[in-house]
């Protein structure tokens, strides 16, 4: 039986006066510590790689793609390790939401779910004639993998087991779900070619990651879904991912069909800002959250 989400009820989060405020303070501590840990570990890995290669370290962008992928993997371990340590010290418990024994299976299943959802969205758009897909030479996979892993680990760790969990501790599950979804969509308004409708589409799909976390009590499936979604969209189908084209290098290239409105094609932001993405994402969210509700997962 899947575990319920653990919100924390000891030490810094013990019941009593101002627990909601203590939860918000711990949210800030966790977020800052985890982001710092990721960046420090990633930079240290790149510097070590440059030193071993006998080359000077300049910037992350200038490093070889393989080194950047390795840096993201090490940074991810550093981020999750810091989270586990902070939870042990601040909440007096083991961070079972990142139980490494469950990671391989749940990551793989999440990747399959994310890729399948994106394939459905692209399939609808292509069959309707809203986008054009053509073959292209494969120029590399390491950079796309690096981007997919980095965005999935950082965003799901922050959104799911830090922000959502602490807001749930402070204010309850439904305010936490709504606030996290709005925050996720709003943050993407700063991306190239972003629009209010694109943000709404991302908000509509936030229930998928949240539902997978609720169903398992762990973050692995949410991370896998996020990575599979981005990798399929950016590398496999060769489209912009939330307005960014840094994933594109795979066997296909996709672009809006001539004369098709941005509402249907997604425009420069990519398919995530299309009607098809809104409908499919919303349906996925409703399915995941309904399953979580029926299984009694919307409680601590």
pLDDT of residue 2: 56
- Residue 247 predicted with pLDDT over 80: yes
The answer to whether 34 touches 87, Cβ cutoff 8 Å, is no
Supply the DSSP symbol for 189.
Answer: G
The answer to whether 231 touches 116, Cβ cutoff 8 Å, is no
Per-residue CA distances from 121 to 75, 130, 196, 232, 266 (Å):
31, 11, 19, 11, 11
Hey, is 260 helix, strand or coil?
coil
262 class by beta-carbon count within 10 Å (0-12 exposed, 13-18 middle, 19+ buried): middle
Indicate the average pLDDT of the chain: 94
What would the two tokens of residue 82 be?
């810091």
Band of residue 1 on the pLDDT scale cut at 50, 70, 90: very low
Per-residue CA distances from 96 to 80, 81, 247 (Å):
12, 12, 32
Band of residue 210 on the pLDDT scale cut at 50, 70, 90: very high
Backbone φ and ψ for 133, nearest 5 degrees, come out as -120, 130
pTM: 0.95
Report pLDDT digits (tens) over 141-185. 899 999 999 999 999 999 999 999 999 999 999 999 999 999 999
Length of the chain: 300
Report pLDDT digits (tens) over 70-123. 999 999 999 999 999 999 999 999 999 999 999 999 999 999 999 999 999 999
By DSSP bridging, strand 131-135 and strand 252-256 are: antiparallel
Backbone φ and ψ for 250, nearest 5 degrees, come out as -90, -160
């Amino acid at each position: 039986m899947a575990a319920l989400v653990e919100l924390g009820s000891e030490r810094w989060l013990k019941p009593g006066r101002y627990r909601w405020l203590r939860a918000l303070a711990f949210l800030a501590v966790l977020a800052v510590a985890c982001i710092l840990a990721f960046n420090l570990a990633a930079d240290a890995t790149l510097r070590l790689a440059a030193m071993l290669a006998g080359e000077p370290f300049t910037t992350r962008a200038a490093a070889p793609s393989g080194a950047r992928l390795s840096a993201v993997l090490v940074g991810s371990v550093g981020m999750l390790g810091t989270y586990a340590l902070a939870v042990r010290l601040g909440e007096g418990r083991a961070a079972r939401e990142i139980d490494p024994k469950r990671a391989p299976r749940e990551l793989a299943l999440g990747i399959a779910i994310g890729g399948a959802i994106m394939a459905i969205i692209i399939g609808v758009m292509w069959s309707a004639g809203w986008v054009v897909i053509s073959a292209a030479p494969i120029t590399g996979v390491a950079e796309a993998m690096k981007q997919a892993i980095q965005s999935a680990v950082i965003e799901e760790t922050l959104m799911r087991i830090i922000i959502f969990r602490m807001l749930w501790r402070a204010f309850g599950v439904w305010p936490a779900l709504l606030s996290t979804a709005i925050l996720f969509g709003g943050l993407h308004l700063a991306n190239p070619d972003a629009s209010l409708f694109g943000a709404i589409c991302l908000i509509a799909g936030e229930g998928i990651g949240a539902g997978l976390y609720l169903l398992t009590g762990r973050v692995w499936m949410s991370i896998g879904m996020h990575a599979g979604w981005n990798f399929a969209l950016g590398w496999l189908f060769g489209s912009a991912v939330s307005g960014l084209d840094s994933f594109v290098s795979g066997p296909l290239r996709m672009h809006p069909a001539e004369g098709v409105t941005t509402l249907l094609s997604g425009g420069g932001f990519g398919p995530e800002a299309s009607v098809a993405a809104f409908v499919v994402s919303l349906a996925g969210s409703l399915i995941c959250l309904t399953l979580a509700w029926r299984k009694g997962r919307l409680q601590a």
